[in-house]
Chain A
Amino acid sequence: MQERVAEPAGQRNGQGGQKELEEQVLRTGLCTGCGACVNLCPYQAIYQDRTVLLHPCDLAQGRCYDFCPRTPTDRDALRRNFQEAADCTPELGAVKGFFITRAADGNLRCRAQHGGSVTALMALALREGLIDAAVLVEEGEGLLPRSVTVTDPNEAGERGRSRLVVSPTVAEFNRIVRGDAAKIGVVATPCQAIAFAKMRALPLSESNAGIEKLRLVVGLFCGWALSWRKLAPLLKKKTDIARVIGMDIPPSRYHTLEVYTSGETIRVSLDEIDPCVREACRSCDDMTAEFSDLSVGSARLPEGWETARGWNQVIVRTKQGMDLLELARRRGVLEFREAPPGNLEKLKAASLGKKRAAERFFGRDVADEETTQAG
């Protein structure tokens, strides 16, 4: 009845719209819930930790498809955009430097995951005016995290615990980019970092308007994330999930997920957790958030896990990342210790393991795929 003229917002040469996004990403289980396709238009939303289509959109091209980290992506082109060729490694992407750090503030470490380096860096960036808004994750109801924007550096310290469930950080960025914030920093999982990299790589136009406000991407190491709808019922059988204050995965030999409640620590075998892993994560080949300015994960130290869990490993990937880390050193916000020999190689091996698992995933039938965890 109505004539349809495909006039997508801004002129792009995109490869698809909502229909292709649905066919190639949502129906195939590749969606990571990063939120890149959300808050651009009224057609997609995040509910719990899933991307949902509210109504059909018949445009042939859409930002939803362009920004999605799981639609076809020229990774090499993205690297050339942001990273120096000399820094690139096949296993970990760009490595400008490798560090073991922790937040100098012990209180902050208590409230954060591992060494609290991410929280300390975001608070520093806000305090120093490198950014004026930080997109962080805070705990929501019943283990479900939510993405929030913080402008007060003191508030950044209140957030920083992992629930191992994804939060739609890119959707929150898409929301605030239209607002007053001029310099935005984000804490991103690897998939979210790829979405941001894709948004930045597009020629500046109406379609990615505001992306120049993105000044800092702090990446998180990520083996996989858990599906909330599967995890919540599992944990409800074991504890009152309202009392859960944190979760962690010790080194792989423990083969355990630790769930911290106000009273006790519950250990759940990863065999039990494995069915809760998001399908999308099994085909992800980026463990260390290669498209960030610097990326942070848990440390491995010769003293063992009890010591290591208080520290982070940091891969610096860009000049901005290095500047921020050096500023943190000068301001005494982060403490540094020497990286043990072999740590970078172990990280490379783990990262390579995830890349191979992803290759196997796409090379073989999903049902035949042996489960892999890079945790």
Chain B
Amino acid sequence: MSLDREQKEGAELLLMGNEAIARGALEAGVRVAAGYPGTPSSEIIETLSRFSEAGKLYVEWSTNEKVAMEVAAAASFAGLRSLCVMKQNGVNVASDFLLHLTGSGTRGGMVLVTCDDPGALSSVNEGESRHFARLMEIPLLEPSDFREAKEMTRWAFTLSEAIRNVVMVRSVTRMSHASGNVVLGALPEIAGKAAFCCDGPVSDPDCGPVISTPVVAKHRLQQEKLRGATTLFEESPFNAYEGPEDPELLIITSSVCTLYSREALSLLRAEGRTGILKLGTTWPVPPALLKKRLASAKKVLIVEEVLPFLEDQVKILAAEQAHEIGIKEFYGKNDGTLPMVGELNPDLVAAAVGRILGIDPPSVPAEYREKLTALTALVPKREQTFCPGCPHRASFWGIREALQRDHRGGFVCGDIGCYAMASLFPAAGFHTAKTLHSMGSGTGIASGFGKLGPFGMEQPVLAVCGDSTFYHAAIPALINAVHHRADITFIALDNSGTAMTGFQSHPGLEVNAMGEAAPMVDIAALCRAIGAPVVVGDPFALTETRETLNRLLEEPGVKVLILKQSCALSPGKKGKKTFLVRVDETLCRGDACGCNRLCTRIFRCPGLLWNRDRKKAEIDEVICAGCGFCAGICPAGAIRNEEAAKS
């Protein structure tokens, strides 16, 4: 069930973690929310956008996370409560501003929500944003269930106003994307006019200019406020202990790991021997609370995902208090009890607890295991691939053919988006990208490669970049390449939306996050203004794409090719076939052709099937998107396109 304006206070709803966070912000009276899409964070801004209303709540998808944080900060400076939202690596993008923002301090409550992705379920990193809280010296809150996700977000605004600084709320994929029951609180009456009072002295936190200088004085003030927050944390209801007063083993945990820990103890029937100290305020950890609990147990296991963030803090506090609480045995990341990479789950935690307490985790019955093995064998193997009708598959097919023809070992510097798959599966015909890092980095890396000609590098250098990524971080890199005469071919894969995360708007579209008409910023015009020659093409026009690229690869300097074709899943295209595609069985010669199943073995569109009985290709009419591109690759001309009836 999704949130809407009609739902009343006291209603209990099944909410996704991200919706709970959004609701918390609404209950806190948030006025401005800005973010950049990124799984698993995107639904927070999407949910808030449905509540947007002129003068009451402004919501935007910013061009990148740094800009989002700046937009939210401005609202705070003007006295409004504001929220900025991003995934873990978004904080890296925003971090330069964040460092200075935490130095200057804020006015209206400002909350930074980051959604981390341990195990990189939908990321190309499992970076940790928690460390930024310590680095920037701002409080960090981590909800462990859905109710808490809402309550914590709401309280974060209060805390922000108390310490006059940003408060960070950190979620993870299993919190953001799982659902649980949440009781709605009241939505406040929205009041208060935006005004930026800035004529006072620099020392006046309410009316002075908002700057991070004088640095030492402001830094001292920031630390004093943080100590104040730590005092509040000692009594915070978000921190709780459950279990015997003198446990054999003390688990210290936070976030969804709290649920894993509870489940693990239940599996092992070890609740009577083990206590769980669940922390919601994980930076700084409240020292008195920690001391009280550490004193009660000899063995301590810290359960958290990826790096030892809590573990480091707990060990420091334990060392400082060792003369009072005694020496402890620590279990966690550093001794290998728990893995320092990937997600945790109840089984991993149970195994760890079992080893410490000498309990064998309950074994799965042999019969169950056999059934499981039999069932898993039935699950068809599926590879991550481009969707049927995806313009990226066509773009990379053209790029690959051009590069293979060019024959100088040319390669693509990849970037972040669905098209990152071009770097992941060597067997597929779309495999061309050989570097993959952060947003916009493909272009920056290409700019560097493009200067290595005098060092003997003869390989042509290409960079690909999606439309949203173009605005996010590619523009400075492209300007760099133009200004320094780097020899690169820059390809914008413009599929008209932030497709991978669910078609959020971006500056290339004529609509904004709130559904209002917005001026479109044209990629081609921007590139021309920078001084790069621009060719605009259709990725479905294979020969043209290939020939254009082969020509561009021979030319020096920065050349821009925009391959424009909207995503097959975009609202405008989904379910609408341009062509009815079929395989003419009289023309498909199957294994006698010599094509060696180019369509299913190399092209690998999920809409194409190899019929093992008839030994011929066929179209899966259910999932074929009707783009018709495959008709152009069949050497026998057996794949036929018929104009689909317009619906």
Contacts and interface: CB of A to CB of B under 8 A. Distances in A.
A325 B594 CA distance: 39
Given A42-B598, A42-B635, A55-B602, A47 B592 contact: no
B633 interface: yes
Contacts of A59: 596
Interface string B397-414: 000110011110000000
Nearest to B427: A56
Given A7-B591, A42-B633, A53 B596 contact: no
Interface in B591-611: 591-598, 600-602, 610
Contacts of A9: 592-594
B383 interface: yes
Nearest to B602: A55
A41 B593 CA distance: 8
A40 B594 contact: yes
Interface string B468-480: 0000000000000
Interface string A1-32: 11101011110000000000000000000000
Given A3-B612, A5-B591, 20 more contacts: A2-B597, A2-B600, A2-B610, A9-B592, A9-B593, A41-B595, A42-B598, A42-B633, A42-B635, A45-B401, A47-B407, A50-B407, A52-B404, A52-B405, A53-B404, A54-B400, A55-B598, A59-B596, A63-B594, A206-B592
B381 interface: yes
B633 to A, nearest CB: 7
Contacts of B550: 47
Nearest to B550: A47
B591 A57 contact: no
B381 to A, nearest CB: 5
Nearest to B612: A3
B404 A54 contact: yes
Q: How large is the interface on A (under 10, 10 to 19, 20 to 34, 35 or more residues)?
A: 20 to 34
Nearest to A26: B407
Contacts of B406: 47
Contacts of A274: none
B38 interface: no
Contact of B601 (A2, A52, A206): A2
A58 interface: yes
Q: Which of B400, B405, B633 has the most CB of A within 10 A?
A: B405
Most buried by A among B594, B595, B633, B635: B594
B595 A42 contact: yes
B383 A1 contact: yes
Nearest to A45: B405
Contacts of B598: 42-43, 55
Contact of A58 (B593, B595, B596): B596
Interface in A210-246: none
A299 B601 CA distance: 53
A41 B635 contact: yes
Nearest to B597: A2
A79 B363 CA distance: 75
B334 to A, nearest CB: 40
Contacts of A52: 404-405, 407
Contact of B594 (A5, A8, A55, A58): A8
B592 A7 contact: yes
A52 B408 CA distance: 10
B429 interface: yes
Nearest to B408: A229
B489 to A, nearest CB: 16
A76 to B, nearest CB: 29
A2 to B, nearest CB: 7
A119 B405 CA distance: 31
A42 B630 CA distance: 13
Contacts of A43: 596, 598
Interface string B350-387: 00000000000000000000000000000001010000
12 contacts: A2-B600, A2-B610, A7-B592, A9-B593, A40-B594, A41-B596, A45-B401, A45-B405, A54-B400, A55-B404, A55-B598, A55-B602
A41 B594 contact: yes
Contacts of A7: 591-592
A40 B381 CA distance: 32
Interface string B573-591: 0000000000000000001
Interface string B409-439: 0000000000000000000010000000000
A54 B381 contact: no
A55 B610 CA distance: 19
Nearest to A17: B596
B245 to A, nearest CB: 56
A345 to B, nearest CB: 42
Contacts of A45: 401, 404-405
Interface in A131-188: none
B556 to A, nearest CB: 13
Interface in A32-52: 40-43, 45, 47, 50, 52
Interface centre among B400, B596, B601, by most chain A C-beta atoms within 10 angstroms, is: B596
A57 B595 CA distance: 9
Give me the 8 closest cross-chain CB pairs, A-B, nearest first. A47-B405, A9-B594, A7-B591, A41-B594, A42-B635, A55-B602, A54-B404, A57-B596
A40 B593 CA distance: 9
Contacts of B595: 41-42
B53 to A, nearest CB: 51
Nearest to B592: A9
A9 to B, nearest CB: 4
A38 to B, nearest CB: 12
Nearest to A9: B594
A63 B594 CA distance: 9
B429 A55 contact: yes
A235 B558 CA distance: 26
Nearest to B591: A7
A298 to B, nearest CB: 32
Nearest to A5: B591
Nearest to B383: A1
B610 A54 contact: no
A9 B600 CA distance: 18
A301 B396 CA distance: 57
B21 to A, nearest CB: 40
Contacts of B601: 2
Interface in A43-90: 43, 45, 47, 50, 52-59, 62-63
A58 B591 CA distance: 13
Contacts of A63: 594
Contacts of B593: 9, 41
Nearest to A18: B596
